[in-house]
Structure 1
Amino acid sequence: MVPQRVSLLTLGALRLPELRKFYQLLGWEETEASSDEYAVFKTAGVFLTLFPLEELAKDAGVELQSPIEGFRGVTFAINVNAAEEVDSVMEKVRMAGGKILREPSDAFWGGRTSYFADPENNLWEVAWNPSSVFDERGAMIDF
C-alpha cells in the first residue's frame, strides 16, 4: 500500500532567492535548512520547499523542456478559519508583491474565495469553507 499522505511539496524555482523572499514577506516560517539554494517553509502538516528548477528536473531524471510561464494546471490552497480572513490574507499577499488574479468574492458553494500568483506564476487559492474542520496544528482534516 502507498501511504495516503502528502508530506512535502516542491516548487521548481527560476529565481529562488526572489521567490523565497516573497514567501518570507507573507510571514511564513522557514526551517534551519533554508538558504538561497534550497528553502523549506513550515505549513500545517506539509513542508513547502523551493529548489532550482533545473536541479529539480535533473534530480527527477527528466529533461527540462523550457521554463513554464503560464498556467500549469495545478493550484495550491490556503484554507482559512473565517470569511473575512480571505480578504485580509489577500491584502497581505498584495503587499508582498503577489499578483491578485481574482479578488475575494462569495463562492457559489457557500464560502469565500480568491486567487493569486506568486512571482513565478504558481497559483494559490485562499478560501473559507464553512464546513472545513482543522486539527490543532491548523491542518484541514475534513470539509
Structure 2
Amino acid sequence: MIPQRVSLITIGAYDLPMLRAFYQKLGWEETAHSSDNYAAFTTAGVILTLFPIEELAKDAEITFTQDRNSYRAVSFAINLDEPSQVDSVIEQIREIGGTILREPSDAFWGGRTAYFADPENNLWEVVWNPSAVFDERGAMISY
C-alpha cells in the first residue's frame, strides 16, 4: 500500500532568487536545507521547495516546454481559520507584489475565497472553509 500523504511540493522556478524573495516576503521561514540553488520553506502540512525549472526537468528526465508567462495547471491553497483572514491575507499579498486574480468573495458552498499568482504565475487560493478541521500544527486534516 502506498502511504496516503503529500510531504513535499516543489515548484520549478524560472528565476529562483526572485521567487524565493517573494515567499520570504510572505514571512515564511526557510529550512537549513536551503542553498543558493534550492529553497525550502516549512508549512503546517508539507515542505514547499523551489528548484530551478531546468534542474527539475533534468532530475525527472523530461523535456519541459511550459510557457513562462502562462498559468500552470495546478493550484495551491492557504486555508485560514476565519473568513476575515482571507481579506487581510490578500491585502498583505497585494502589498508585497502578488497579482490578485480573484478578489475575496463569499463562495457558493459557504466559505470565503480569493486567488493570487506569485511572480511566476503559480496559482494560490486563499480560503476559509467553515468545515475545515486542523490539527495542533495547523495542518488541515478534514474539510
TM-score, normalised to structure 2's length?
0.97
5+ residue gaps, structure 2, are none
- Check the 8 A contact 2:14/2:68 in 1, yes or no: no
- Check the 8 A contact 1:20/1:36 in 2, yes or no: no
**CA displacement at 1:36 relative to structure 2:** 3.2
Distance 1:75 1:31 in 2: 23
**Which is worse superposed, 79-88 or 58-67?**
58-67
Distance 1:3 1:141 in 2: 15
TM-score, normalised to structure 1's length?
0.97
Aligned to 1:96: 96
The aligned amino acid for 1:56 is L
Aligned to 1:130: 130
What SS does the aligned partner of 2:28 have? Answer: coil
> CA-atom RMSD, angstroms?
0.9
Q: Percent identity?
A: 69
Asked whether 1:108 is paired with 2:108, we answer yes
Instruction: Describe the superposition over 1:57-105 as per-residue Cα deviations: whole angstroms up to 9, x where unpaired.
Output: 0000001225442122211000000000000111111111100000000
5+ residue gaps, structure 1, are none
Paired positions, count: 143
What SS does the aligned partner of 2:73 have? Answer: coil
